[in-house]
Structure 1
Amino acid sequence: MNGKATHTKTRLDRGRGALGPALELVHTGRAPTRAVLTAELGVTRATAGAVAAELEALGLIQVDSRPGAAAGSQGRPSHRLAVNALGPVALAAQVHADGFRAALVGLGGRTVATAPGCVTVSADPAQVLGEVVAAGAELLRGSGLRCVGAGLAVPSAVAEPDGTALNPLHLAWPAGAPVREIFAEQVRAAGIEGPAFTGNDVNLAALAEHRHGAGRGAAHLLCVATGHRGVGGALVLDGRLHTGSSGLALEVGHLTVNPEGRPCYCGGRGCLDVETDPLAFLSTAGRDPGPEVSLLAQSRELLRAEYDDVSVRRAAEELIDRLGLGLAGLVNILNPDRIILGGLHKALLEADPDRLRAVVADRSLWGRSGGVPILACSLDHNSLVGAAELAWQPVLDDPLAALG
């Protein structure tokens, strides 16, 4: 081995522990060039170059062979870094009250392909998960890409460490269904490579938004969102989901915002879950939900097309006020530095942002002290992207071990 090769090997050995952090920096868009990667990792230029070359050899990133500089830049040109568009993918799956969807998601949160599924979800979790995995396996066969693993998003708290869905309130599944075990079995049976993971859909939406969307840069990110039914919440602290002692933290849907309100599935009354979800909006606006389109899609369309209608505007204002009351309580307890809203809540924010922000500021201690930014989620199918993040995490932790 010549001297140059020896030095290169030594640099790579020193930088091998930086492979995971380096990949995460490129994955989240925080290291667009090798110069930025060098600075973020705190290593020499030579070590950063060796790390980037190893990630490229693994098929995970692409390094531009011709250094370039941004327009007007006075600095030394640097090699640009990007995720490999032809690299491995994760299989992502989501089940919700109105059906399921499968997708292939690459590094950078990039959706490669999607396959919508049924509109009626069986009461048998194994049947539904078998169907969504089969749809994902078909996508994989068509793509010819390597799979690093699979992730599943479900509309339920997922208890740790067993991976059971404790309260799939808007599905006909039995409480405590072992969804992680069932999903893993279906993934293995389909011949899909890599480990299988399961998580709550809003938790995963928050993780995806923090890494790739409206939550980037937040240290204490609160996400509140409606699904097709119900309301969920999540908290990302310093880049990691806060799931509590057993995976059940942030069940914000069961905050009471209207003590005399609708009965809730949890046994309470007037919870966010039944006062600010799509069914509540349609009912408050005096509209009968149609069976052919999801409640979330119907609600969004009603807001878009008929917001000038008095009954629709009043319904929106009522839901905004109740949502604002719930968010204010969460701000008092959690003191987040950013709030992002998804589903119907995103549409309500966009319909009347001043009203919602005023309610939160007026009813929260920390809101009155300067305000908490409230933004709309920005990713399409963010729960699917978040499900893929679960599958990508072992690769981000140790690329060589995961792909070796």
Structure 2
Amino acid sequence: MNGKATHTKTRLDRGRGALGPALELVHTGRAPTRAVLTAELGVTRATAGAVAAELEALGLIQVDSRPGAAAGSQGRPSHRLAVNDSGPVALAAQVHADGFRAALVGLGGRTVATAPGCVTVSADPAQVLGEVVDAGAELLRGSGLRCVGAGLAVPSAVAEPDGTALNPLHLAWPAGAPVREIFAERVRAAGIEGPAFTGNDVNLAALAEHRHGAGRGAQHLLCVATGHRGVGGALVLDGRLHTGSSGLALEVGHLTVSPEGRPCYCGGRGCLDVETDPLAFLTAAGRDPGPEVSLLEQSRELLRTEYEDVAVRGAAQELIDRLGLGLAGLVNILNPDRIILGGLHKALLEADPDRLRAVVADRSLWGRSGGVPILACSLDHNSLVGAAELAWQPVLDDPLAALG
């Protein structure tokens, strides 16, 4: 081996421990150039170059062959870095009260392909998960891309370490269904490569938004969202989900916001889960939920097209006030530096942002001292993207071990 090759190998050996951090920087858009990568990793330019070259050889990123200067930059031109659009993908799956969907998601949170969503969910979790995995396997066969693993998002707290769905309240599944085990079995049976993971849908939405969307850059990110039924919450601390001692943290749907309110599935009354979800909104607005489309889509459409109707506006304000009360309590307990809202809560924020922010500021200790930014989630299908993040995590941790 000649001297130049020896030096290159030595640089790469020194940089192997930086492969994962480097990939995560490119994956989350925080290292658009090799110069930024060098600074973020705290290594020499030569080592950063060797690391980038190794990630490119693994098919994960692309490095521009010719350096270019960023617009308005007066610094030295640097090679641009980007995820490889033709690189591996993760299989992502989501099940919710109104159906399920499968997708292929590449690095950078980029959705490569999606299968048409199913609108009925069997009471047998094995049947549902088999169907959604089959849909994902068909996508993989059509794409011809390598798969790094699979992730599943479910509308339930997922207990660790067993991966059981403790409270799939809005599905007809039995409590304690071993969803991770079933999902992993179906993934293996379909011949899909890589490990399989399962998580709560709002947790995964928060993870995706933190890495690729409205939560990017937050250190203490609180996400509260209502999907097709019910309300969920999640907290991302310093880039990692806070799931508690056994995966059950942030069950915010069972905060009481109306003591004499609707009975909740948990046995209480007036919980966020039943006071601020799509069914609560349609009921407050005097609308009979129809079977044609999901409750979430019916609620969004009502806000879009009939917000000037007195009953619709009154229902929206009622839900905003209750949501604001719940968020204020969470601000007092968690002291987040940013709040993001998804599902119907996102639509309510967009309908009357001043009202919601005023309620939170008025009812929370820290809100009065300057306010907590409250933003709308920005990613389409963020729970799917988050499910893919579970499958990508082993690659982000150690690309060579995962792919080599």
The answer to which of 368-377 and 113-122 deviates more is 113-122
- For 1:116 and 1:270, the matched residues in 2 are separated by 36
Cα distance, 1:71 vs structure 2: 2.2
- For 1:31 and 1:59, the matched residues in 2 are separated by 17
Cα distance, 1:116 vs structure 2: 2.5
Instruction: Please name the residue that 2:234 is paired with.
Output: 234
- For 2:4 and 2:331, the matched residues in 1 are separated by 56
Cα distance, 1:292 vs structure 2: 1.1
Counterpart secondary structure, 2:366:
helix
- For 2:260 and 2:45, the matched residues in 1 are separated by 64
Cα distance, 1:72 vs structure 2: 2.4
Structure 1: gaps spanning 5 or more residues: none
Cα distance, 1:265 vs structure 2: 0.4
Instruction: Please name the residue that 2:172 is paired with.
Output: 172
**What is the number of residues matched between the two proteins?**
404
Deviations 1:32-77 (A, max 9, x none): 0000000000000000000000000000000000100012211000
Match status 1:250 vs 2:250: yes
Counterpart secondary structure, 1:94:
strand
Cα distance, 1:290 vs structure 2: 0.4
- For 1:309 and 1:227, the matched residues in 2 are separated by 24
TM-score (norm 2): 1.00
Structure 1 ranges of 4+ moved more than 4 A? none
- For 1:31 and 1:119, the matched residues in 2 are separated by 40
Deviations 1:176-227 (A, max 9, x none): 0000000000000000000000000000000000000000000000000001
Deviations 1:315-369 (A, max 9, x none): 0000000000000000000000000000000000000000000000000000001
- For 2:70 and 2:20, the matched residues in 1 are separated by 27
Counterpart secondary structure, 1:116:
coil
Deviations 1:254-307 (A, max 9, x none): 000000000000000000000000000000000000001000000000000000
Counterpart secondary structure, 2:153:
strand
Counterpart secondary structure, 1:150:
strand
- For 1:298 and 1:106, the matched residues in 2 are separated by 31
TM-score (norm 1): 1.00
Instruction: Please name the residue that 1:73 is paired with.
Output: 73
Structure 2: gaps spanning 5 or more residues: none
- For 2:344 and 2:230, the matched residues in 1 are separated by 10
Cα distance, 1:118 vs structure 2: 1.9
Cα distance, 1:163 vs structure 2: 0.1
- For 2:71 and 2:330, the matched residues in 1 are separated by 44
RMSD: 0.4
- For 1:143 and 1:89, the matched residues in 2 are separated by 10
- For 1:376 and 1:246, the matched residues in 2 are separated by 29
Cα distance, 1:117 vs structure 2: 2.9
- For 2:117 and 2:79, the matched residues in 1 are separated by 42
Determine what percentage of the aligned residue pairs are the same residue. 97
